[in-house]
C-alpha cells in the first residue's frame, strides 16, 4: 500500500483509539497517547509492508518513481515553453492568466518531485491539460498577430484559459489532500482531548 494511504488509514485508527482509551477506558492521557502512537506506527508498518518481504514494495516504489520522473520531465518541458510564451503576450489579462497557470504548475511539479506517490493524482494535468494550455497560449500569440481576430475565437480562448487555471488549482489542492486529511484527524483528536480535559476541570 502507498505511503499516503497507509498514513491516512493508520491516522484514522489512531483517531478512534485515543478517545476510546482516554474516555472509554479512563486511561491517563499520557498513556493513551503512547498506546495510540503505537497503534499508528504498527498499523502503518503493516499496511506498508503488506506482510511480505520488501522486494515487491521496492520494485513498486521504483516503478512509481520512474513514472513520476517521466511525468515531471514532460511537464517541465511544457512548462518551460509556457514561461517563454507568457512575457510575449501583449494582452495584460491573458498574460496574467498564463503566468498564474505557470506558477501553479511550478508548485505541483515541485510537490510531485518531493512526493512521487502523488504523480498519478496529477497525471491528467501533466499529460492532457498542460500541453493543451500551452497550445492555447501559443494560439493566442497567433491571434494577436492578426489585425482583426474573430471576437468569438478570442472570447473562447479567454474562457478556456480561465477554466484551465481553475482546473489546475483544483489539481494542486487534490495533491495536498492527504496532508489535509491527516491535519483533520489531528485536529479531531486534539479537540476530543481538550473537551475531555475541560469537562474534568469544570
Per-residue pLDDT of the chain (202 residues; tens, 9 = 90+): 555 566 666 666 666 666 765 566 666 665 566 667 776 676 666 765 654 444 455 666 667 778 888 899 999 999 999 999 999 999 999 999 999 999 999 999 998 888 887 888 888 899 999 999 999 999 999 999 988 989 999 999 999 999 999 989 888 887 665 555 555 566 666 677 677 777 766 5
Domain boundaries along the sequence of the chain: 69-183
> Which is nearest to 171 in space by CA: 105, 97, 75?
105
Amino acid at each position: 500500500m502507498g505511503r499516503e494511504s497507509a498514513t491516512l488509514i493508520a491516522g484514522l485508527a489512531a483517531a478512534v483509539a485515543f478517545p476510546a482509551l482516554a474516555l472509554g477506558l479512563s486511561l491517563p492521557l499520557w498513556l493513551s497517547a503512547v498506546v495510540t502512537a503505537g497503534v499508528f506506527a504498527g498499523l502503518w508498518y503493516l499496511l506498508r509492508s503488506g506482510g511480505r518481504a520488501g522486494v515487491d514494495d521496492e520494485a513498486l516504489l521504483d516503478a512509481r518513481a520512474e513514472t513520476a520522473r517521466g511525468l515531471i520531465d514532460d511537464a517541465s518541458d511544457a512548462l518551460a515553453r509556457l514561461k517563454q510564451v507568457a512575457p510575449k503576450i501583449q494582452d495584460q489579462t491573458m498574460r496574467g492568466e498564463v503566468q498564474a497557470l505557470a506558477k501553479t504548475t511550478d508548485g505541483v511539479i515541485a510537490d510531485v518531485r518531493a512526493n512521487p506517490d502523488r504523480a498519478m493524482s496529477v497525471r491528467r494535468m501533466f499529460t492532457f491539460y498542460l500541453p493543451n494550455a500551452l497550445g492555447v497560449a501559443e494560439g493566442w500569440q497567433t491571434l494577436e498577430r492578426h489585425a482583426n481576430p474573430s471576437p468569438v475565437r478570442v472570447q473562447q480562448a479567454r474562457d478556456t484559459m480561465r477554466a484551465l487555471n481553475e482546473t489546475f488549482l483544483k489539481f494542486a489542492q487534490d495533491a495536498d489532500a492527504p496532508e489535509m486529511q491527516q491535519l483533520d484527524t489531528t485536529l479531531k483528536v486534539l479537540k476530543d482531548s481538550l473537551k475531555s480535559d475541560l469537562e474534568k476541570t469544570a
